[in-house]
């Protein structure tokens, strides 16, 4: 291959890789902006706390939205759901969910809070609050599922261990007509449930981390082009 041909191939590879790195940097930047907007929107909801009925959890137009909601009903005597790989204060555990039937509206999953899990991986018991209860909290999409590989849930004794919350699959397993697509994250001030908060980005990257990765990807793109320029001029002088 001639020198000109080698330069053409080299620059083509360098430009393709640099473009790919830059694209990854842009994606990380966009994710930072999206998460900042999300945090701002939720902060507005939490500051106002204007309660919507629990039936709003089934609103298909607001599947990805956040609303403060309140209502009355009772917890259904189905097995609890324990979402695996949930961290709190640096400890690994599970997040407990139970099905709640409002007085009016579609049943929905309620986030009861976080529980530790030992090295033996034995699932902790999850008490079911009895009788009619007033509940309130933040209606939110289920936690991000990541890669959807394998079955979302598996029965283990008196509970279900889940790797992602899929209301449709859960409703099918429990023999329910439907489950609302959003879950209720209980107000931490309520006297039942387990340790919990209303933070949104506990198990995912915050905006600053996305920006840090964006800088790294843009830096790799720039470095690659500088190396290509240096090698080109170095060879031209030989």
pLDDT of residue 94: 93
Q: What is the mean pLDDT of residues 40-65?
A: 90
Q: What is the mean pLDDT of residues 27-48?
A: 85
What Cα–Cα distance (Å) separates residue 231 from each residue in 13, 72, 132? 14, 71, 74
Q: Indicate the pTM of the whole model.
A: 0.77
Per-residue pLDDT tens over the stretch 124-183: 889 899 999 999 999 999 987 655 566 777 888 888 899 888 899 899 999 999 999 999
C-alpha 158/C-alpha 52 separation (Å) is 33
Bridge partner residues of 69 (DSSP): 52, 137
| Both structure tokens of 18 | 């640099």
Q: How many residues does the chain have?
A: 238
Q: Indicate whether 201 pLDDT > 80.
A: no
Secondary element (H or E) of residue 51: none
């Amino acid at each position: 291959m001639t020198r000109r041909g080698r330069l053409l191939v080299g620059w083509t590879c360098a430009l393709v890789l640099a473009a790919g790195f830059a694209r990854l940097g842009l994606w990380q930047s966009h994710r930072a902006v999206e998460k900042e907007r999300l945090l701002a929107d939720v902060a507005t909801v939490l500051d106002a706390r204007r309660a919507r009925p629990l039936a709003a959890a089934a609103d298909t137009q607001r599947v990805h939205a956040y609303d403060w909601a309140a209502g009355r009903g009772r917890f259904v005597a189905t097995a609890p759901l324990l979402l695996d790989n949930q961290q709190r204060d640096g400890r690994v555990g599970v997040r407990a969910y139970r099905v709640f039937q409002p007085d009016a509206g579609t049943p929905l999953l309620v986030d009861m809070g976080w529980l530790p899990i030992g090295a033996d991986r034995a699932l902790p018991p999850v008490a079911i609050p009895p009788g009619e209860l007033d509940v309130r909290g933040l209606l939110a999409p289920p936690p991000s599922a990541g890669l959807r590989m394998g079955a979302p849930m598996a029965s283990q004794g008196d509970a279900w261990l889940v790797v992602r919350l899929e209301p449709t699959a859960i409703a099918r397993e429990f023999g329910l007509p439907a489950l609302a697509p959003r879950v209720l994250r209980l107000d931490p001030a309520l006297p039942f449930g387990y340790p919990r908060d209303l933070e949104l980005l506990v198990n995912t990257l915050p905006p600053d981390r996305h920006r840090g990765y964006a800088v790294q990807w843009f830096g790799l793109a720039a470095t690659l082009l500088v190396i290509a320029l240096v090698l080109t001029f170095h060879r031209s002088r030989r």
